[in-house]
Amino acid sequence: MTTLGAAVAEAKSRFSAAGLPDAAIEARLLIGGLLNLSATEVFTGGDRPLTHAESSRIADSIERRLKREPVHRILGKREFHGVDLLISKETLEPRPDTEILVDSMLPYVRQIVAAKGAARLLDLGTGTGAIILALLKEIPEARGIGTDISEDALKTAAENAARLGLTERFATVGSDWFDQVTGRFDIIVSNPPYIRSDVIPALEPEVRDFDPPAALDGGSDGLAAYRAIAADAGDFLEKDGVIGVEIGFDQKETVTAIFRSAGFTLAQADRDYGDNDRVLVF
């Protein structure tokens, strides 16, 4: 691998021989990401020579992908709802479908800002900070807190906030759901773990072996986190406050029932890019 073009061709043929889908796209994404090149630069820069260090880093990254580590985790970063985020060991890789939750919540945040001039947000199990940081980036009058049980995640979320210039409006709190949270919020958001424990071994290796188990495992029926959140949310939400959660494709009825018994009313349900139920707003 002495040129960019040779490296992309080799990555593509090895990914494709290993049966990975989207081999060509992933080869360009991985190598472009490693070299900090745009998609156009990768397409047109085939003759670009590679240094020895670049070439060995690419070779190492190809091996990691062949062991099914996702491209963005290898790169340590990904784009989400227009913001660049670092990913670390104990953070779930932000998914495009979670952008729907951001879009669902934006009008509610705007409405609160229109009425009160400001809005206070809380993101439970913030991970990289993806959801709340994307909301804060869009709405300058909003501020908020991201909680997580993982110190590594809190560090990553804080670093992401700093890189996005959001430090003044964002703080992290180490907390098991609401345990260490104080005060009241206009908006609560969460993408909690919602996969049934018994399903986890059957997940694709990219998720099962590389996303943190604590961000996936929702207990024996997948609903443990929603029960914990719904039980206490009323104590932390302003009157007329809104709570938005991501859910599994088959959890609309069960999660709605959990929040309804805690006194909440379903305000909105949204589907993801694959037309599955994915977001509930109460």
Q: Can you tell me the distance from the alpha carbon of 244 to that of 54, in angstroms, rounded to the nearest whole number?
A: 43
> Which is it for the CA torsion 261, 263, 264, 265, positive or negative?
positive
Residue 26 or residue 246: which is nearer to ligand GLN going by CB?
Answer: 246
Q: Can you tell me the distance from the alpha carbon of 168 to that of 105, in angstroms, rounded to the nearest whole number?
A: 21
The verdict on 158 binding ligand GLN (CB under 6 A) reads no
Of positions 119, 158, 195, 243, contacts ligand GLN by CB under 6 A: 195
In terms of residues, how long is the chain?
282
Shortest Å distance, C-beta 3 to ligand GLN: 36
Shortest Å distance, C-beta 227 to ligand GLN: 15
Query: Quick one: tokens of 132?
Result: 């709340």
Which residues, at least 6 apart from 60, have a Cβ–Cβ distance to it below 8 Å?
none
Q: Does 192 carry a binding-site annotation? A: yes
Of positions 191, 236, 245, 277, contacts ligand GLN by CB under 6 A: 191
Q: Can you tell me the distance from the alpha carbon of 215 to that of 178, in angstroms, rounded to the nearest whole number?
A: 16
The verdict on 95 binding ligand GLN (CB under 6 A) reads yes
The verdict on 193 binding ligand GLN (CB under 6 A) reads yes
Do the Cβ atoms of 63 and 36 come closer than 8 Å?
Answer: no
> Which is it for the CA torsion 56, 60, 65, 66, positive or negative?
positive
Contact pattern from residue 206 through residue 235 relative to ligand GLN, giving x for each residue in contact according to CB under 6 A and a dash for the rest: -x--------x-------------------
Going by the annotation, the residues of the binding site are 125-129, 148, 177, 191-194
Q: Which residues bind ligand GLN (CB under 6 A)?
A: 92, 95, 191-195, 207, 216, 246
Q: Which residues are annotated as a binding site for substrate?
A: 191-194
